[in-house]
Structure 1
Amino acid sequence: MKHFIRVWNQTSLIKRIAIGVVLGLIVGLLAPKLSVVGLLGDMFVGGLKAVAPLLVFVLVANALSQHEEGQRTNMSTVIGLYLVGTFTAALVAVLVNYIFPLELTLSKSTASDLSAPQGVAEVFQTLLLKIVDNPIHAISTANYIGVLAWAVVFGLAMRNVSETTKELLQTMAEVTSQVVRWIINLAPFGILGLVFKTISENGIKVLTDYGLLIAVLVGTMFFVALVVNPLIAFVMMRKNPYPLVLRCLKESGVTAFFTRSSAANIPVNMKLCEDLGLNKDTYSVSIPLGATINMAGAAVTINVLTMAAVNTLDIPVDFPTAFLLSIVAAISACGASGVAGGSLLLIPVACSLFGISNDLAMQVVGVGFIVGVIQDSCETALNSSTDVLFTAVAEKSAWRKKKVS
């Protein structure tokens, strides 16, 4: 047993996750009533959800409290890349519609009991109210916009406190990160449970009934990850971006795919940034920030499903309108974590641009929940891996400019 445990611990996390996926698939098909296996997945997700908001708070607050005047960071470039990347992903999703137009079979909504925002104004109102949420309540309810806002406030306020107090905050950040690393090391068992639960409850047919929609969603996200993002990286760095892109996808995207939480994937991204030799003053802020506002995958989801609804209802769409849709989707996606239901419940906001009623839009949301098994995983993988990619690109482009000058 000791030999097995030693070999298991020495095996890379990605290989262990792959083993968990295969076992979950086999058990789900052969013993679908073995519900205790599904409990592993629920416990894993519950642990991640419990600790992730606290992690974001202590990491951002600690990073800002340790920052000293005169330290150079690339935060403005990183934020610019986040915004450009999210908008570009939204625009690509619209263009894909002209190549692979989708239609949906709309029926009774499976999400009719959910309430969606009625417009962009309501999204902004929700975001503003989330920002001033009670900090304890924000952490307990996983309101990441509020968590991030209060972390910035506390971090700035603690710049002038004693070094002993700063060291205490840094210790809290390190301890919380270690707890998350422990949970992520249990990912193979949690993922075994998640895969088992998905297969036992829905069967393989959940992936085939909406195969074309899943293919377009996943294909668009792959295109953004493997073509659009590398192009942005090349423009900034003026060198082959693929070694960096592929490493981010391998070491960040794979774990994010299974954890389905950008916030929970923060320790993985921080370790990857450290391994890449990036400036800690930059990535200690940009990675938690990216988990909240860098939402290329969410923008893709919003636009693909919205355009599918438009096609179903035979609504003509000219390019200026499609461009406006991309702007709305990008802005809405940045606030996805502040709206109950994430990116899917922002679809009615985009649908409202075309006069689609909320009832019909919520049917589209229902379809989104059905394909969410794959959609949410791919969306998170794209979002989280891009956090590291753009942080690295911003710094490497700064290095290039220094060499040129």
Structure 2
Amino acid sequence: MATIQKKSFWQQYGGLILILGGIAIGALIGAFAPSVGTTIKPIGDIFLNLLFTIVVPLVFVSIASAVGSMANMKRLGRILGSTVGTFIFTGLIAAACVLTWVNLFSPSAGASIQLTTGEVGEAQSAGELLVSSLTVSDFSDLWDKSNMLPLIIFAIIFGFCVSACGGDESPMGKLLNNLNDIIMKFVGVIMFIAPIGLGAYFANLVATYGPEIVGDYGRSMLVYYPLCLLYAVIFFPLYAFLAGGKLGVRMMIQNIFPPAITAFATQSSAATIPVNKEACDNIGVPKDVSDLVLPMGCTMHMDGSVLSSIVKIAFLYGVFGKDFVGAETYAMAIVVAILSAFVLSGAPGGGLVGEMLIVSMFNFPAEAFPIIATLGFIFDPAATCLNSSGDTIASMIVTRLVEGKDWLVKAVAAKKETA
């Protein structure tokens, strides 16, 4: 057995410290020198654009290669079934938590919002929403990051066909595996400049919006952000324990912060996929599991969005003088929250579609849309943080369901042998 070399503190946490340092410096620049913060905005945009340009090929190639290399289609079915089941399970727990929370602490108490006319737009029917969420009408539309779910479905079918036509040993299988290695190298290059890119992005964010997110919306922030923190502190370790016992909790704590910080700073689940992939690899999640769970989680794992959506609904009920009570109201809120989370795109601002869905399905007047859009901006960093960092933990749960309770012990032992 090879000699095991223990990582130094800097080797373990150096990247995280640099990213946190970059964000902290960026926030200070944005707060005390806003003109500088807006000037360096292009640096942050370049970093974010690099992440976005790699997301679509990363999602397609990772899923297609993972499915294409599976000779055992039964395993694929178990991974997909466990993934959907895990997302629904955690989403329902989030819904129960937020319904309890908003009844204890009303997000709209004391708010005196000035109502302005806003355009809600025409709501889609359930059938139209289903079609537009799952498919696109043209092949070229698959390569738009706002159509992530249709891309995932296409990649799964493509990978299945690769598996049926030779799998790993076929020319296409070898090409996909090689492309996957190249893309992960590319991700490593991008993440090398993450401290500078995230720092510049955060500097502009604070410079542009810092003073504007207080006031009448402060109460909703005081309700929502502590709720997100409590959910992460209580349920993330619980999920990790269910996935891998005490070792699972330890591995989760060691690896969860880079994806959480990236998601919070960029407000994008799609941009966080490469960082989540790195975290899953460090933990020991099998490649075929993370390659499927992470892209699906980008558009379907909805804990933070469920919390956000129900707080928004409760806020609107209070603003428009309605009581947010009753089993029927709660059930409708859960359904709408899950639907609105499901149609989000994974890019910043994608929540506008979900917010229009909330306004239309609860029959709020058009004036509600600017209110809920503002709330969406305020809540988006924390919601995306929970959604995206939770994808890593979801990958651990799915691995536990697919490979059994000792999966993490075996993974850690295997990593030590190859160290």
Shared fold, TM over 0.5? yes
Deviations 1:8-39 (A, max 9, x none): 99972221122212222232234322343111
Describe the shift of the 1:224–1:337 C-alpha distance in structure 2 as closer, same or farther (beyond 3 A): same
Find the residue that maps to 1:58 and give its secondary structure. Answer: helix
Alignment of 1:93-172 (within 5 A): 93-103=98-108, 104-108=111-115, 112=118, 115=121, 117=123, 120=126, 122-128=128-134, 131-159=135-163, 160-161=165-166, 162-172=169-179
Which whole-Å CA distance do the structure 1 matches of 2:46 and 2:74 have between them?
Answer: 41
What residue in structure 2 maps to residue 20 of structure 1? 22
Q: Give the structure 2 partner of residue 337 of structure 1.
A: 345
Q: Distance in 1 between matches of 2:298 and 2:201?
A: 22
Kept in 2: contact 1:248–1:386 (CA 8 A)? no
Deviations 1:185-228 (A, max 9, x none): 21211122222212222344535663322232222222322223
- The one-letter code sitting in structure 1 at the alignment partner of 2:299 is T
* Deviation of the 1:169 alpha carbon: 1.2
Gaps of 5+ in 1: 1-7
How far apart, CA to CA, are the structure 2 residues paired with 1:164 and 1:255?
36
1:185/1:207 CA distance change after superposition, 3 Å: farther
Query: Of 164, 180, 185, which residue of structure 1 is paired with 2:192?
Result: 185
Counterpart in 2 of 1:5? none
Equivalent-residue separation in structure 2 for 1:337 and 1:69 (angstroms): 31
Matched AA of 1:179: F
Distance (Å, rounded) in 2 between the aligned partners of 1:391 and 1:29: 37
C-alpha distance in 1, partners of 2:296/2:353? 22
C-alpha change, 1:70 and 1:274, in structure 2 (3 Å) is same
Distance apart, 1:360 and its partner CA: 2.9
- Asked whether the equivalents of residues 53 and 142 of structure 1 are also in contact (C-alpha less than 8 Å), the reply is no
Unpaired segments ≥5 residues, structure 2: 1-9, 408-419
Match of 1:36 in 2: 39
The residue number in structure 2 matching 1:3 is none
CA contact (8 A) 1:49 1:142 kept: no
What's the TM-score once normalised by structure 2's chain length? Answer: 0.82
1:48 matched residue in structure 2: 51
With over 3 angstroms needed to count, the CA separation of the structure-2 counterparts of 1:107 and 1:281, relative to structure 1, is: same
Question: What's 1:67 paired with?
Answer: 70
Match of 2:94 among 89, 93, 98: 89
- By how many angstroms is 1:340 displaced? 9.7
CA distance in 1, matches of 2:187, 2:406: 36
User: What's the secondary structure of 1:199's corresponding residue?
Assistant: helix
**1:236-278 CA distance string (max 9 Å, x none):** 6676864354335324322322232222222222222222222
Counterpart of 2:130 in structure 1: which amino acid? F
What is the Cα-based RMSD across aligned positions, in Å?
Answer: 3.1
* 1:347 counterpart residue number: 355
Corresponding residue pairs, total:
389
Q: Output the CA distance in 2 between the equivalents of 1:242 and 1:212.
A: 33
Identity percentage of aligned residues: 24
Asked whether the 8 Å contact 1:262–1:384 carries over to 2, the reply is yes
TM-score in terms of structure 1 length: 0.84
Per-residue deviation, 1:324: 2.8
Residue by residue over 1:293-333, the C-alpha shift from the partner in whole angstroms, topping out at 9 and shown as x without a partner, is 11211111111111110122222321332123112311331
Bigger shift: residues 80-89 or 24-33 = 24-33
Q: Equivalences for 1:344-383 in 2 at 5 Å?
A: 344-357=352-365, 359-371=366-378, 375-383=379-387
